[in-house]
Every structure is written in structure tokens, then in C-alpha cells.
Amino acid sequence: MDKFRMIFQFLQSNQESFMNGICGIMALASAQMYSAFDFNCPCLPHYNLAYGLGILLVPPFILFLLGFVLNNNVSMLAEEWRRPQGQRGKDPAVLRYMFCSMAQRAMIAPVVWVSVTLLDGKCITCAFCTSVPVETLGNASHPGLSQGEMKRVLARIPCKEIYDGQEFIANEVAIRYLRCISQALGWCFVLLMTTLAFLVRSLRPCFTQAAFLKSRYWSHYIDIERKLFDETCAEHARSFAKVCIQQFFEGMSTDLAAARCHPPMKAPADVGEDAEKLLGITDQGSMNVALKSWHRCKPPLHLHPPTLPSGNGWAGEKQSPTHLPVPRREMAAYYSRV
């Protein structure tokens, strides 16, 4: 457990490392998904191609979109792209950098899926079994079969149990041939992708290093600024809520006191902390009224500046701040509240 926590902390400490971690997890998930998936070739002439190519190309597209969805920075990119210019100019190089780095990470899981699919061979075998060269691999001179019939027979190659064309072309020969082609394609694809990644990574320092450092700094800055702003807003909301609720309870307590037509008890000078926290509500009836009022009529989102009671019991809204010799809990009987 500790081990995972440490690895998690290491990945979290650096935002880019965290994204790399997610990217690696998606690649592993993609390989696992393929092995868990139960491939079932339909073994019918026109359906084979659609099914085989569909399994080869549709899940990578979904994984690519998922890569974008799981990336926290997508909303940051969209926000930065759409915001009005205001007092701060927009730098398209920063937007391009953010988009490129997200797209590169999102490409990894689809590439893993396509490679694993091609190296396994079932998709290509299913999709292209009707195009096997029967003349070179088998015995095409067998008479009496139209094109359509031949295609129907060849379409059953992936389904060994129902294959009935042994005299044209042996099932194992055809499957080996198709699988060999599929694996060759797979390795070529892997080589191509690694070469592209290598070129992208190694040509960058040769051309645009200064611009790259700038874009990277400002894209990190935008991310950090957004997080700090959210933290500041959360702090503010917390204080706002605290003061709002405190004012609500004070209001309730004075309202109840006014309703009972007797002045509130003057708290003794050495009042304990717990008694203070009771906020003037000290019996079941008052608490029920307070709870009902909280549900029926929440206070407006408008905090009053703290009012200061004066000696004669009158405290007005616009009063210059004075020193505060008496503790706040000692309330005056009448005061006006706007």
C-alpha cells in the first residue's frame, strides 16, 4: 500500500509525470481490453471486411477521444482559446503547444491497440480472407464454382469448423499466409510510429528551442494560475459561508428574543466558550424555529458589516468604527438592522 502511495506521490508531484502515468495506464488498459475481447469473425462474404476493419479502426478512435476526455488540461485549453482578449494578449504558440502535447499523449493507446491487433492477426485474417491468392497457394483450377461461390467458400477460412474448401486451398496454409502479412504490417506500423516519435522529439531542439521553452513556461503558468485561483475562491467561499451562517444565527437569536418580549439575558462576564457557541439559542423550540427558518427562508447572499453595540442600546448601520470595550455577546435590546 505504501509502495503505491509513494509511486502515486511521485507521479502527482509533477503534472507532466501524472499525465504520462495516465497515458501508460491507458496503453496497458488497451492491451488488456484486446485480450479480453472475444473476437468472432462472421465468416460471410461482405460482413468479414466490415467487421475486421471495424474492430481494427473503431476502438482506436474511441480510445483517442477518451485520451482527450481523461486529460484535465482539455478544459484549460478550451478556456484559454475562447476567452476574450481583455488586458492580456493571447499567444497562439502556447495554444499549439498545449494541443500538441495532449494529442501526442492521446495517440499512445490507439497505437497500442492497432499494433496488438495487427500482431495478433485475427482482424486481418477475417477482413481479407476472400482476397487470398488461390492460384499461388492452392488449387484454383477446380471447375464448377462461380466467383460468388468461391468468395463464400473463402469467407469461411477463419471459421475452421465450417470450412469446406480444403480442395481449393488448405485452411492452415491460408491462415498462415494471412497472419504472416498481418504481422509484417504490424511490425512495420510499430517501426513507423517509433521513427515518427523519434523524429518529432529529436528535431525540435534543432529548430525552435527558444520558442519551445517560452511556450512550455506559459502553458505551465496558465495551469498553475488556474489552480491557485480555484484555491483562492474556495478559501473565500468558506469564509463567506462561515460569516453568513454566523449572521443568520445571530439574527435568529435576536428575533426570538424580540418575539418573547423580554430582553435577552445578559451573559455573565465569565461566560464559557461552549455557551458562546450556542449562539443564543438554548432550547428545543428555538432550535426548531431556527432549523425551519434555514430551510424555508435562507438568508440572502449579502454579508452585513459587523455592527457595534453602543452604551445606550442603539447601533446604527453607518457608524464610524470605535474601539470595542465590551464583548459582542452582550446585545442591546433594540437595534435596527437594514
Partner 1 sequence: MDRFRMIFQYFQSNSESVMNGICGLLALASVKMYTCFDFSCPCLPRYNMAYGLGIMFVPPIALFLCGLILNRQSLVMLEEWQRPQGHRKKDLAVIRYMCSSIMQRAMVAPVVWIIVTLLDGKCLICAFSGSVDPEKFVAFANTSPVQVQHLLAKVPCKDDELMRNNTSRKAVSRYLRCWSQALGWSILLILIIAAFLARWLRPCFNQATLLQTRHWSNYIDIEQKIFEETCCEHSRLFAHKCILHFFESMRQEIKRHSFSLPRKGEEAEGEEDLLRGITDQDQVNKILKMWYYEKPPL
Site residues, partner 1 (CB under 8 A): 2-3, 6, 10, 79, 83-84, 86-88, 119-121, 137, 170, 172-173, 176-177, 179-180, 183-184, 187-188, 190-191, 194-195, 197-198, 201-202, 205-206, 209, 217, 220-221, 224-225, 228-229, 232-233, 235-236, 238-240, 242-243, 300-303, 305-306, 308, 318, 320-321, 324, 328
Select 30 or 286, whichever has its Cβ closest to partner 1.
Answer: 30
User: Least distance (Å) from partner 1 to the CB of residue 69?
Assistant: 23
* Burial status of residue 244 (CB atoms within 10 A of its CB: 0-12, 13-18, 19 or more): middle
User: Least distance (Å) from partner 1 to the CB of residue 146?
Assistant: 27
Q: Which residue has the cell 512495420?
A: 188
User: Least distance (Å) from partner 1 to the CB of residue 259?
Assistant: 27
Select 70 or 185, whichever has its Cβ closest to partner 1.
Answer: 185
Interatomic CA distance for residues 247 and 244, integer angstroms: 5
- Torsion, Cα 25 26 30 35, to 10 degrees, reads 20
Range 31-53 burial, b when 16+ CB lie within 10 A, else e: eebbeeeeeebebebeebbebbe
DSSP H or E run through 189: helix 171-207
Interatomic CA distance for residues 67 and 70, integer angstroms: 5
Angle between helices 209-259 and 73-82 in degrees, nearest 10:
90
- From the list 157, 178, 161, the residue with the least C-alpha distance to 169 is 157
Asked if 55 and 123 count as a contact pair (C-beta separation under 8 A), the reply is yes
Helix locations, 121-169, DSSP H: 122-128, 134-137, 147-154
Select 152 or 329, whichever has its Cβ closest to partner 1.
Answer: 329
Select 225 or 330, whichever has its Cβ closest to partner 1.
Answer: 225
Select 266 or 304, whichever has its Cβ closest to partner 1.
Answer: 304
Q: Which three cell numbers mark 75?
A: 478544459
User: Least distance (Å) from partner 1 to the CB of residue 70?
Assistant: 22
Select 162 or 206, whichever has its Cβ closest to partner 1.
Answer: 206
Select 220 or 260, whichever has its Cβ closest to partner 1.
Answer: 220
Select 182 or 286, whichever has its Cβ closest to partner 1.
Answer: 182
User: Least distance (Å) from partner 1 to the CB of residue 182?
Assistant: 10
Contacts (Cβ under 8 Å, ≥6 apart) of 300: none
User: Least distance (Å) from partner 1 to the CB of residue 289?
Assistant: 25
User: Least distance (Å) from partner 1 to the CB of residue 30?
Assistant: 15
User: Least distance (Å) from partner 1 to the CB of residue 7?
Assistant: 8
